[in-house]
Amino acid sequence: WENMLDIIMAAFNMNEIPAVRLGPQGKLDAALDLFKRDKQVRVLLMPLARGANGINLTAAQHVMFVEPLLNPAVEAQAIGRVHRISQTKPTTIHRFAVADSIEVALLA
């Protein structure tokens, strides 16, 4: 699903929407810091494998899943990174699925 994030990041760049993407472990802190501190950066892209564990993302308001999830606990943990007790804004969850695909069945 890394390729999907490449496509999404390219779309943000083409539309001049400031975004950061979690890269290799060494660049993780820099991307998170930029997302949390720079009000112009409104998008943080990350694969669930990297983003669901131990990260506080209360600076975010929206969670968008662009990959199918087979484990509901992983999804709940990812949502929990944004929707925490310290969150002061409403949190919205978005799920994307390709029509007539297995993704639609997984979301049902």
Lowest mean pLDDT among 10-14, 45-49, 80-84, 86-90: 45-49
Domain ranges across the chain = 2-107
Q: Which CATH class is domain 2-107?
A: alpha beta
**Residue 54: pLDDT over 60:** yes
Are the C-beta atoms of residues 51 and 42 closer than 8 Å to each other? Answer: no
Are the C-beta atoms of residues 108 and 76 closer than 8 Å to each other? Answer: no
pLDDT reported for residue 52 = 56
DSSP code at position 76: H
Cβ atoms within 10 Å of 45's Cβ, excluding its own? 20
**Residue 51: pLDDT over 80:** no
* pTM for this model (two decimals): 0.77
